[in-house]
Amino acid sequence: MAEEHAALVAEQFDDQLQQYQTATLGMWIFLATEILFFGGLFAAYTIYRYQYLPAFEIGSHHLSVLWGGTNTAVLICSSLTMAMAVRCAQLGKKKPLIAFLFVTLIFGFLFLLIKFGEEWRHEYLEGLAPGVNFTYHGPHAVHVELFMFFYFFMTGLHALHMIVGCGIMITLIILASRNYFQEKFNAVEIAGLYWHFVDIVWIFLYPLLYLIGGRFPH
Amino acid sequence: MGTASAATLPGSGEEFHLHYLNVKHGLKAWLLTTDHKRIAWLYFFTTTFFFIVGGLAATFMRLNLISPQGALVEPETYNKLFTIHGTIMIFFFLAPAVPTVLGNFLIPMMVGARDVAFPKLNLLSWYIFITAGAIFLYSVISGGVDTGWTFYTPLSTMYLNTHVLSAAMAVFISGFSSILTGMNFIVTIHKMRAPGLTWFRLPLFIWSMYAASLIFVLAMPVIAITMALVMIERIFHVGIFDPALGGDPVLFQHLFWFFGHPEVYILILPSMGVISELMAAFSRRRVFGYGFVAFSSFAIGLISFIVWGHHMFVSSESAYAGIFFSAMSMAVAIPSAVKVFNWIATMYKGSVSFEAPMLFALGFIGLFTIGGLTGVFLASMGLDIFLHDTYFVVAHFHYIMVGGAIMGYLGGLHYWWPKMTGKMYPDYWARISALIIFVGFNLTFGPQFLLGVLGEPRRYATYPPNFQFLNIMSSAGASILAVGYLLPFIYFIWSAKYGAPAGPNPWGARGLEWETASPPPVHNFDVTPVVTHEAYDYEAVSETVAVS
């Protein structure tokens, strides 16, 4: 009995509740760090957009609203399946847990596939990749390049978080198949916090990058 | 992992006492440890190493400035020296020193916990730290970098062919180490407190560390992303900060100082926490105005995020923004003064004794007050136009960072050294060291106030001959300061081998960390303590009782 207890609760904690609350608080603080991490970029974006609005609108019009919108839908669906996975973990239902984690992972892969395989590839071939292949010579070329840089850097940083998230999903699936979560469901919950955060970042990125400049006339 | 030590009488001489230092031996037991006390030592050795490197760079700078034409090195080398000095002292010594050495060792003990909340992340943060340090040393050895610690663009991105990339990489990585440390501390303070240890029974060191940890968590990601942008601009030549390519160099200054100014409060807040502990312990009194001192830490942390613009009074900032940042910068003086006055009031009618840690604490109060008041000069826009980028600024922030932060660190090291090692050091020599440092410090940086008012700009290898007298005084003071810093190295090493056993509570202090053996057992307390009094309960109980 005592050994069972020791396996579930790390030695620095008194009980499972303390361990659970500690891990959750740790993830929330990590997310606060992440907000400031992206926040520097959002601040820089805001300032340059204020200064060079016409160039930013031209740049935005070169992005694919269709694929960006599709990816937004993909991520919102993945948030739903992630929430379902957390619920299953809390209820101790192993098979649906693995299923929902797997679907979330597939959504994650789909997002990355569209992002890199379709959008980035397309923009690179069009000559819109700053510093690598930038051949746009229309009006405001210098600041269109600046916009495209922010597009690539911010979506790239977001995609990096998605890749980490997919890695976490794979880990969770393996652990779940080994019955790890019968007692320790909070690992799924904490991974869920991270996953939802990354989704929310995209909810801000999508309108700021794809939808500026009155592309759809009234 | 080891069980708690057997019922031994701490400090009873020859009897074998199992504690965190002798429970396991060998390099592997140290490099793979998750014990917060051992990680504190890992940090102690690495940050001390960086202190020596940064100090050597400063030594060469002061030697060079003995002569107006530059006595020792070429101007290019001088630029590299002050970059090494600034970057190492800020990112690899001052910012980590108090939190990762004293904080790591003491926070779990002060809250009555067995360890920090995330021991493995704690070790990981050390590995990230030494990786960052190694990369910076690589950039130094492979030819150096001459941007100054601020990496201002477009100098850092367009004009320099030195090793900016690796230096920026080092700063980028070191940020993550600090983030992990801050996160760990916040969660530990929230969730790991022993039964009965309410927020207002906590030592003020904990409150300061909490405020500093918040800044770690919220400011470090901004410098990380800013350094990433600098690296990308250098590699891909996209114009984020370069005006020729459509960017704006002032944006870099805003992003940098949005991190940079909270950063300087990271340096001073933990030391302020140390001073609160020392004042109470050596005045035998509860810290006067506990609540005010506790919340002034948060006020400093909060205001620190809205003062960054005072670094840009002369770089294209509007007058209205300037007025705001000027007012906010002056407002920092209020919580800082609350602390200073409360410390002084703590001594009033206390039974003050003057052991070495107290001398460091008193030195802190004097030097920090000078540094803080000159900061108010610099916060006023009209005056700053004349003093900006002169030696006055150099003197001001050294009074805060060296006179404040390092004095606090040394005071804390002397105070908790018996707890960390179980050995006493020679108090006489420690008091001598505190006095030498105080005198040497004032001789080094006092003349720099005058040089700044006379108009000597900072960061030049040469200067007009009429400034030579004050520069020689400053260099002479630096050599005295160096002796003061050398002494603790000698007697600390001596005491680790020959020092008398300290016993659990050599100062008769009331904090939780003094209720366990010195050195503490692996899990800090044999039995989880139940706290019934606050950390400064000197009036109520005259004698400490070990909980176990």
What digits encode the pLDDT tens for the residues B100-113? 999 999 999 999 99
Predicted complex ipTM: 0.92
Q: What pLDDT does B157 receive?
A: 84
Residue B8 predicted with pLDDT over 70: no
User: Min CA distance, A146 vs chain B (Å)?
Assistant: 7
Q: Which of B109, B122, B102, B112 is nearest to B33 (CA)?
A: B122
> What are the Cα distances from residue A141, in Å, to A50, A131, A212, B245, B520?
17, 13, 18, 10, 65
Residue B539 predicted with pLDDT over 80: no
Give the mutation candidate from A50, A149, A193 for the B interface (greatest B CB count, under 10 A).
Answer: A149
User: Min CA distance, B131 vs chain A (Å)?
Assistant: 21
B306 touches chain A (CB under 8 A): no
**Minimal-distance CA residue of chain A relative to B219:** A36
Maximum C-alpha span of chain B: 73
Q: What number of C-beta contacts closer than 8 Å exist between A and B?
A: 103
> Between chains, do B221 and A30 touch, taking CB under 8 Å as contact?
no
Q: Which residues of A135-150 are buried (b: 16+ CB within 10 A; e: fewer)?
A: ebeeebeebbbbbbbb
Q: What are A129's strand-pairing partners?
A: A133
Mean predicted confidence (pLDDT) in B249-261: 94
Taking only the tens place, the pLDDT of each residue in B31-71 is 999 999 999 999 999 999 999 999 999 999 999 999 999 98
Choose among A10, A40, A131: nearest Cβ to B255: A40
Residue B3 predicted with pLDDT over 50: no
Report the C-alpha gap between B492 and B43 in whole angstroms.
16
Supply φ then ψ for residue B501, to 5 degrees. -60, 140
Taking contacts as CB-CB distances below 8 angstroms, the residues of chain B near A130 are 236, 238
**Band of pLDDT at residue B5, cut at 50, 70 and 90:** very low
B124 touches chain A (CB under 8 A): no
Report the C-alpha gap between A128 and A134 in whole angstroms.
5
What is the token pair recorded at B521? 């057992």
User: Min CA distance, A10 vs chain B (Å)?
Assistant: 10
DSSP string, B228-275: HHHHHHHHH---SS-GGGT--HHHHHHHHHHHHHHHHHHHHHHHHHHH
Taking contacts as CB-CB distances below 8 angstroms, the residues of chain B near A33 are 179, 183, 217-218, 220-221
DSSP state of B416: H
The percent of residues above 70 in pLDDT, for chain B, comes to 95
Taking contacts as CB-CB distances below 8 angstroms, the residues of chain A near B528 are 14
Q: What pLDDT does B24 receive?
A: 87
DSSP state of B308: G
> Between chains, do A29 and B217 touch, taking CB under 8 Å as contact?
yes
Q: Give a three-class secondary structure readout of chain A.
A: CHHHHHHHCCCCCCCHHHHHHHHHHHHHHHHHHHHHHHHHHHHHHHHHHHHCHHHHHHHHHCCCHHHHHHHHHHHHHHHHHHHHHHHHHHHCCHHHHHHHHHHHHHHHHHHHHHHHHHHHHHHHHCCEECCCEECCCCCCHHHHHHHHHHHHHHHHHHHHHHHHHHHHHHHHHHHHHCCHHHCCCHHHHHHHHHHHHHHHHHHHHHHHHHCCCCCCCC
Mean predicted confidence (pLDDT) in B16-31: 88
Domain ranges of chain B: 37-515
Choose among B190, B221, B224: nearest Cβ to A25: B190
> Between chains, do B117 and A33 touch, taking CB under 8 Å as contact?
no
Instruction: Tell me: cis bond preceding B519? Omega within 30 of 0 counts.
Output: yes
Taking only the tens place, the pLDDT of each residue in A144-162 is 999 999 999 999 999 999 9
Give the mutation candidate from B187, B241, B258 for the A interface (greatest A CB count, under 10 A).
Answer: B187
Taking only the tens place, the pLDDT of each residue in A2-43 is 444 446 788 888 888 888 899 999 999 999 999 999 999 999
> Between chains, do A145 and B246 touch, taking CB under 8 Å as contact?
yes
- B37-515 CATH choice from 3.90.950.10, 1.20.210.10, 3.40.50.720, 3.40.50.170: 1.20.210.10
Residue B328 predicted with pLDDT over 60: yes
Supply φ then ψ for residue B8, to 5 degrees. -110, 155
Residue B543 predicted with pLDDT over 70: no
Taking contacts as CB-CB distances below 8 angstroms, the residues of chain B near A48 are 248, 251
B250 touches chain A (CB under 8 A): no
> Between chains, do A37 and B117 touch, taking CB under 8 Å as contact?
no
> Between chains, do A149 and B116 touch, taking CB under 8 Å as contact?
no
- Can you tell me whether residue B191 is helix, strand or coil? helix
> Between chains, do B191 and A22 touch, taking CB under 8 Å as contact?
yes
**CATH class entry, domain A17-210:** mainly alpha
B88 touches chain A (CB under 8 A): no
Global pTM reads 0.93
Q: How many CB atoms lie within 10 A of CB A123?
A: 18
> What are the Cα distances from residue A178, in Å, to A98, A169, A173, B343, B370?
11, 14, 9, 57, 62
Burial of residue B339 (number of CB atoms within 10 Å: 0-12, 13-18, 19+): buried
Taking only the tens place, the pLDDT of each residue in B278-309 is 999 999 999 999 999 999 999 999 999 999 99
Q: What pLDDT does A215 receive?
A: 66
Q: How many CB atoms lie within 10 A of CB A167?
A: 12
Q: What pLDDT does B267 receive?
A: 93
**Minimal-distance CA residue of chain B relative to A144:** B246
Mean predicted confidence (pLDDT) in B129-138: 97
Residues with pLDDT less than 70, chain A: 1-7, 181-185, 215-218
Mean predicted confidence (pLDDT) in B340-369: 95
**Band of pLDDT at residue B15, cut at 50, 70 and 90:** low
> Between chains, do A29 and B186 touch, taking CB under 8 Å as contact?
yes
B246 touches chain A (CB under 8 A): yes
- Contact between B286 and B544 under an 8 Å Cβ cutoff? The reply is no
**Band of pLDDT at residue B162, cut at 50, 70 and 90:** confident
Q: What pLDDT does A182 receive?
A: 64
Instruction: Tell me: cis bond preceding B154? Omega within 30 of 0 counts.
Output: yes
B470 touches chain A (CB under 8 A): no
Give the DSSP H or E segment for B64: helix B36-64
Q: What pLDDT does B538 receive?
A: 86
Residue B136 predicted with pLDDT over 90: yes
Residue B439 predicted with pLDDT over 70: yes
